Amino acid sequence: MAHHHRRFALCDVTFAGQPLPGATVDSWEDDAGQARWIARVVMRARPVADDGEFTGRMKDGGAVSGNVVVAHQIAGSTARRATIVEFHGSEGLSDTGPLAELTTG
């Protein structure tokens, strides 16, 4: 069961150093108390890598960052050839961590 679920939008998104359109993020805590999160992006091209750093800016101006893996890619049937890409926070992988709010200044 998910605890402390949050859904929010990000702009100025990058993945593995490449700019992406805005993203929607879901973050929560699982039953074991582990921080979990996923981000979904609608894009026209495939991601540049299978894993890497994911960053973005929230509506309130705060920034977030975390390591992700590309978990799913669902090709749309539209003429625009849009693909929904789902990035999973890679907390379970060694030496990576949860989605973290970045400090500025």
C-alpha 82/C-alpha 76 separation (Å) is 5
pLDDT band at residue 14, thresholds of 50, 70 and 90? very high
What is the predicted pLDDT for the residue at 45?
78
pLDDT digits (tens, 9 = 90+) for 51-96: 999 999 999 888 999 888 888 888 876 666 788 889 888 654 433 4
Residue 88: closest CA among 49, 39, 42: 39
Q: What's the CA gap between 105 and 100, in Å, rounded?
A: 16
pTM recorded for the entire structure:
0.79
Residue 23 scores a pLDDT above 90: yes
